[in-house]
A and B are shown apart, each in its own frame.
Chain A
Amino acid sequence: MSSLRLTKQQHDHLSLLQRPAGDVVELCKSAFDYLINGPNPSRYETLAKKYSDSGSAEAVQQAVEALISLLISVTTRAGGDCVNMQAILRQTFPDLGDDVLEVLEQFVTSKRNFVEGSIKSANIRAYRLVNLDWRLEVRTASRSLLEQCHVVVTMKLYLHTEPKNENRELLAVDTSGRSEQELKAMQEDERLHRKDLLVQTDVSSLLHMIKTLEDALAESKTRRIRNIVDAIH
């Protein structure tokens, strides 16, 4: 596991990390805030005054932005592996103290879900099936045929373009431990990325669908497919 390749400029911006762990925590908190609310110059002003020896509000803001950039590149590289993440951080910043590294690691881990979701949803969006409602219907008469018995299965498909992690949260909405803003953002998200669709099918086709899907599932569990997936991983 190699270190992250940071530019000279990024390294310069991250020079504030040389400060004690407490200050780094403060910076990380500012970065969280940046992610949700955008830049907050007055806060950086106060922070800059606190670190009176080095730098202005501008430097603080640059540090915060560099932290976010770091967060994104670590998440992209590590892809969900905690051990990897530690190793990467250690290799990237060999000159930092253990306590600061720990703070950084916590920062990266705690926000990984958020960043991962954003990264993936920025990629090609495909609809995922979130839920399915159904109803068995019999049409007994229509304008062109007064007596009939037409059995149809009507289904409503709830589709969503969000990546699976967030999706699962949507399925069982866990509102505890979320700020109001986060919830609001989620609702907005839902409105933008949802698609509900009404379709129908006949029973014979339904059986065929079940069979085909079971085949697909069985196929995915074969050794061949597993080997391929493992090889890719």
Chain B
Amino acid sequence: MDEVDKIIMHQLQQVDATIEPTEELAEFTPEQVVRAVSGCLAEIPMAQRFGVASSLAQGCKDSGYRGDIGYQTFLYPNAVELRKLLMFLIEQLPRERQTTEDGASGKMQALSHRQLLQRQIRKELTHQLKTPWVPQFARSVGNRKSLGCSSLGIEFRPHINLSIPSANPEERTKEEQQYFDQLAPNLFQQTASKSVDLIASVLHKNELDRWGQGLPDSTLLFVDSEEPEAPIIAPTQSPSSGEAEVSPFQELSNQVQELRVQCETLLTERKSHAAALAALKLRETKATEEIGRIQPMLKLHERTSLVLADPEENLAKLESLLKSTQSKRQTLTQQWLDYRKPLLDTLEELKTAKEAQEVQGIRNSIENLEQELQAKTKQHNELNATLRSASQSLAPRKEYTRRIHEFIGNIRKQRADIYKVLDDTRQLQKQLNVVGAQLQRQFNYTDDLLFQSAKHDLHAKRAYKLLAQLHANCSELVECVSLTGNVTKQIRELEVQIDGEKLKNVLTSLQQITGDIQKFEQHIQELQGQIRAAEHPKVES
């Protein structure tokens, strides 16, 4: 066995150098077993096709191994089984292996990289050629297992200006911190737009953050005021990049920094100015309000002072004006009264007319309503009467139905009784039959018995004769009984018939008929008398 093991070890070494050789297969650890088998399987073209990744045991079976193989073969190796398996696998190794093995190892690796890619392409192609077609919308599920394409193309379009809090929170100003805490949209909100992709954006930003300090101008082009990372990083980095070459980028970034500071001071100035402006505007509005209030007063004052300038003359003027105004007013009142009076009269008239009309209308309606009321009461009385009559006629009907129900109940009861009697009769008949049969048998038996013994015994002979006589008598009796029964039945039927006839009022009709006959007889006699009377004169003549 040792030699076989040595050969196996040697071959395994060639397949995979990482397998450490041991003295015997019995010393193999589970990891080594898996490695050895998978290494061998990877070399076997047929197994390759099914994929080394698939279950190792299944792979061995697929490659044609007939022995008992399963999980346990790899996890709990058994020297005998393992030897069998590995010998089988090594036998399957291709011959060319030895020749390629001789080549330089470095070349091998370079080649294998390319081969790996080719193999991968081949695998992918075979897979795609073999798998059934999956509709596009089911591909993300259907092709998941094979890492197959879902045939979606998303363009690599980064959001070039993601706003994410920078690494050092100390460097953030208070406003920035507040902005990030409250207002700033999160990463996903920023990339929610259809025109950018999340992954592309974060990859872009990460690269920008890593390399950005080398090209601050390009980042500054995109960076808005909320994202000052690049300029913050830049000064900390400048010394490390060497004093000898102060790049124009950095100069520019310094300038930008200065400008930024300037801009900030200007902004604060602008803010204070804006506040002053607002205060002034407020004052202005107040002042205009005041002016609006004062102006009418001023006008009044002006007039009074104008009047007071020449008091007597103005007084006279005012008085005359007053007078004229008064007279004018009087005339106007007069006119108004004149005009008003006829109107008031007409108004009064119209009012009374309207009232009268209304009263008339109400009266009419009252009359109408009264008539209606009368009609209604009349109708009510009529209906009451019909109701009473209806209820009266209704009572006997109830009575009838009650009686009918009673009858039906009685009939039911009677029917039940009849059934009972019928049952009894049947029972009796049955009993009768049974007893009759029993009697017949008994008689036959006794008859036989006595007949047998009658041949030898004289008494028995007599007894037999008596029995025969008894039998004859008995049958006669039974016949008589049944005859009696029949007669009784007939009697009953006749009685029923008689009752029926009686019910038909035979007597009265008979009397009528006899009466009629007597009448007819009288009539006939009269007629005969007449005939005779008629014949007599003839004869006489």
A residues in contact with B125, CB < 8 Å = 151, 203
- Rounded to whole Å, the gap between the CB of A18 and the closest CB of chain B is 69
B residues in contact with A231, CB < 8 Å = none
Contact with A151, one of B121, B134, B199, B203 (Cβ below 8 angstroms)? B121
Contact with B133, one of A150, A151, A207 (Cβ below 8 angstroms)? A207
Chain B, residues 110-140, CB within 8 Å of chain A (1/0): the string is 0000000100110011001101011000000
- Is A144 engaged at the interface, CB distance under 8 Å to the other chain? yes
Q: Are A205 and B133 in contact (CB under 8 A)?
A: yes
- Rounded to whole Å, the gap between the CB of A140 and the closest CB of chain B is 7
Q: A144-B200, A150-B149, A208-B133 are in contact. Are A202 and B128 (CB under 8 A)?
A: yes
Q: A207 to B199: give the CA distance in the assembly, Å.
A: 32
Q: A151-B124, A202-B149 are in contact. Are A140 and B117 (CB under 8 A)?
A: yes
Cβ-closest chain A residue relative to B197: A144
Contact with B156, one of A143, A150, A201, A208 (Cβ below 8 angstroms)? A143
- Is A138 engaged at the interface, CB distance under 8 Å to the other chain? yes
- Is A173 engaged at the interface, CB distance under 8 Å to the other chain? no
Contact with B134, one of A140, A149, A204 (Cβ below 8 angstroms)? A204
Q: A150-B149, A208-B133 are in contact. Are A203 and B128 (CB under 8 A)?
A: yes
Interface of A is mostly: mixed
Q: Are A144 and B134 in contact (CB under 8 A)?
A: no
A residues in contact with B124, CB < 8 Å = 138, 149-151
Q: Are A149 and B128 in contact (CB under 8 A)?
A: no
Q: A201 to B128: give the CA distance in the assembly, Å.
A: 12
Q: A140 to B121: give the CA distance in the assembly, Å.
A: 10
Q: A204 to B138: give the CA distance in the assembly, Å.
A: 13
Q: Are B133 and A144 in contact (CB under 8 A)?
A: no
Chain A, residues 153-183, CB within 8 Å of chain B (1/0): the string is 0000000000000000000000000000000
> Interface size on B (CB < 8 Å)?
17
B residues in contact with A205, CB < 8 Å = 133, 151
Tally of A-B Cβ pairs under 8 angstroms = 41
Q: A143 to B151: give the CA distance in the assembly, Å.
A: 18
Cβ-closest chain B residue relative to A140: B117
Q: Are A204 and B131 in contact (CB under 8 A)?
A: yes
Q: Are A149 and B149 in contact (CB under 8 A)?
A: no
- Rounded to whole Å, the gap between the CB of B204 and the closest CB of chain A is 9
Q: A residues 170-225 with Cβ under 8 Å of B?
A: 201-205, 207-208, 211
- Rounded to whole Å, the gap between the CB of B160 and the closest CB of chain A is 14
Cβ-closest chain B residue relative to A208: B133
Chain B, residues 134-154, CB within 8 Å of chain A (1/0): the string is 100000000000001101000
Q: A211 to B133: give the CA distance in the assembly, Å.
A: 10
B residues in contact with A211, CB < 8 Å = 133
Q: A185 to B419: give the CA distance in the assembly, Å.
A: 118
Q: Are A144 and B121 in contact (CB under 8 A)?
A: no
Q: A130 to B131: give the CA distance in the assembly, Å.
A: 31
Q: A residues 104-145 with Cβ under 8 Å of B?
A: 138, 140, 142-144
Q: A143 to B207: give the CA distance in the assembly, Å.
A: 11
Contact with A144, one of B129, B148, B149, B199 (Cβ below 8 angstroms)? B199
Q: Are B133 and A204 in contact (CB under 8 A)?
A: yes
Q: A151 to B124: give the CA distance in the assembly, Å.
A: 7
A residues in contact with B134, CB < 8 Å = 204
Q: Which of B128, B129, B134, B156 has the most CB of A within 10 A?
A: B128
Q: A152 to B128: give the CA distance in the assembly, Å.
A: 11
B residues in contact with A144, CB < 8 Å = 156, 199-200, 203
A residues in contact with B121, CB < 8 Å = 138, 149, 151
- Rounded to whole Å, the gap between the CB of B118 and the closest CB of chain A is 10
A residues in contact with B199, CB < 8 Å = 144
Q: A144 to B121: give the CA distance in the assembly, Å.
A: 20
B residues in contact with A150, CB < 8 Å = 124, 149
B residues in contact with A204, CB < 8 Å = 128-129, 131, 133-134, 148
Chain B, residues 190-203, CB within 8 Å of chain A (1/0): the string is 00000000011001
B residues in contact with A143, CB < 8 Å = 156, 200, 203
Q: A138-B121, A149-B121 are in contact. Are A207 and B149 (CB under 8 A)?
A: no
Cβ-closest chain B residue relative to A138: B121
Q: Which of A140, A142, A204 has the most CB of B within 10 A?
A: A204
Q: Which of B131, B133, B203 has the most CB of A within 10 A?
A: B133
B residues in contact with A151, CB < 8 Å = 121, 124-125, 128
- Rounded to whole Å, the gap between the CB of B202 and the closest CB of chain A is 10
Q: A203 to B199: give the CA distance in the assembly, Å.
A: 27
Q: A14 to B203: give the CA distance in the assembly, Å.
A: 78
- Rounded to whole Å, the gap between the CB of B112 and the closest CB of chain A is 15
A residues in contact with B148, CB < 8 Å = 204
A residues in contact with B149, CB < 8 Å = 150, 152, 202
Q: Which of B148, B149, B200 has the most CB of A within 10 A?
A: B149
B residues in contact with A149, CB < 8 Å = 117, 120-121, 124
B residues in contact with A142, CB < 8 Å = 156
Cβ-closest chain A residue relative to B133: A208
Q: A152 to B156: give the CA distance in the assembly, Å.
A: 18
Q: Are A207 and B129 in contact (CB under 8 A)?
A: yes
B residues in contact with A138, CB < 8 Å = 121, 124
- Rounded to whole Å, the gap between the CB of B51 and the closest CB of chain A is 15
A residues in contact with B203, CB < 8 Å = 143-144
Q: Which of A143, A149, A150 has the most CB of B within 10 A?
A: A149
Q: A204 to B134: give the CA distance in the assembly, Å.
A: 8
Cβ-closest chain A residue relative to B200: A144
Q: A28 to B526: give the CA distance in the assembly, Å.
A: 144
- Rounded to whole Å, the gap between the CB of A135 and the closest CB of chain B is 14
Q: A187 to B148: give the CA distance in the assembly, Å.
A: 44
**Nearest 10 Cβ contacts at the A-B interface:** A203-B128, A208-B133, A149-B120, A204-B128, A151-B124, A149-B124, A138-B121, A204-B133, A202-B151, A202-B149
Interface residues of B (CB under 8 A from A): 117, 120-121, 124-125, 128-129, 131, 133-134, 148-149, 151, 156, 199-200, 203
16 new A-B contacts at CB < 8 Å, known A203-B125, A204-B148 = A138-B121, A138-B124, A140-B117, A143-B200, A143-B203, A144-B203, A149-B124, A150-B149, A151-B121, A151-B125, A201-B151, A202-B151, A203-B128, A204-B128, A204-B134, A207-B133
A-B contact pairs, 15 of them (CB 8 A): A138-B121, A142-B156, A149-B117, A149-B120, A149-B124, A151-B121, A151-B125, A152-B149, A203-B128, A203-B129, A204-B128, A204-B133, A204-B148, A207-B129, A207-B133
